[in-house]
């Protein structure tokens, strides 16, 4: 019979490590440890030191956030402006239901394009 030095639980002669606390068991008699037990101890210690048993922490790199700059859908120009609500109301009062600025949000400032969306 073998005894665990940590939790004092008794095990059979073929066990080498405690199932509760994973410590090496001490033989009941003070005789030498057999060659088979030495091999199993070596395998167990090798398994604990094996790189697969080590948890690696992968550093996370912060990716640059993409710039969310609105561009003109026709000419892809970034030279745009937001149409103000006062301008939309004025256009609706001036032209009534035929005023077309009330439905758009942006206007391209490219002199060739002048697209509104």
> For residue 87, is it within any domain?
yes
Indicate if 77 and 45 belong to the same structural domain. no
Range of the domain at 76: 68-117
Tens-place pLDDT, residues 54-103: 556 667 777 788 888 889 999 999 999 999 999 999 999 999 888 888 88
Quote the CA–CA distance of 95 and 87 in Å, as a whole number: 12
CA angle 32, 33, 35 (to 5 degrees): 120
Instruction: Tell me, yes or no, if the pTM score tops 0.75.
Output: no
Instruction: Answer yes or no: is pLDDT of 34 > 90.
Output: no
> For residue 60, is it within any domain?
no
Instruction: Answer yes or no: is pLDDT of 46 > 70.
Output: no
Q: Give the pLDDT confidence score for residue 30 in this predicted structure.
A: 46
Overall average pLDDT of the 23-31 stretch: 64
Compute the Cα dihedral for 47, 50, 51, 57 and give only its sign.
Answer: positive
Q: How many domains does the chain have?
A: 2
> For residue 101, is it within any domain?
yes
> For residue 63, is it within any domain?
no
Quote the CA–CA distance of 88 and 103 in Å, as a whole number: 8
Indicate if 42 and 74 belong to the same structural domain. no
Name which of 70, 90, 67, 94 is nearest 80 in CA terms: 70
> For residue 84, is it within any domain?
yes
Adjacency order of strands within the sheet including 2-3: 10-11, 2-3, 26-27
In eight-state DSSP terms, residue 4 is -
Indicate if 48 and 73 belong to the same structural domain. no
């Amino acid at each position: 019979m073998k005894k665990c030095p940590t939790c004092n639980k008794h095990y059979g002669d073929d066990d080498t490590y405690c199932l509760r606390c994973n410590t090496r068991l001490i033989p009941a008699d003070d005789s030498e440890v057999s060659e088979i037990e030495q091999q199993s101890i070596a395998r167990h210690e090798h398994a604990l030191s094996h790189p697969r048993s080590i948890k690696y922490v992968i550093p996370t790199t912060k990716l640059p956030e993409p710039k969310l700059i609105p561009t003109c859908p026709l000419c892809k120009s970034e030279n745009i402006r937001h149409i103000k609500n006062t301008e939309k109301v004025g256009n609706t009062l001036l032209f009534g239901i035929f005023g077309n600025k009330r439905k758009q949000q942006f206007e391209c400032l490219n002199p060739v394009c002048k697209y509104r969306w």
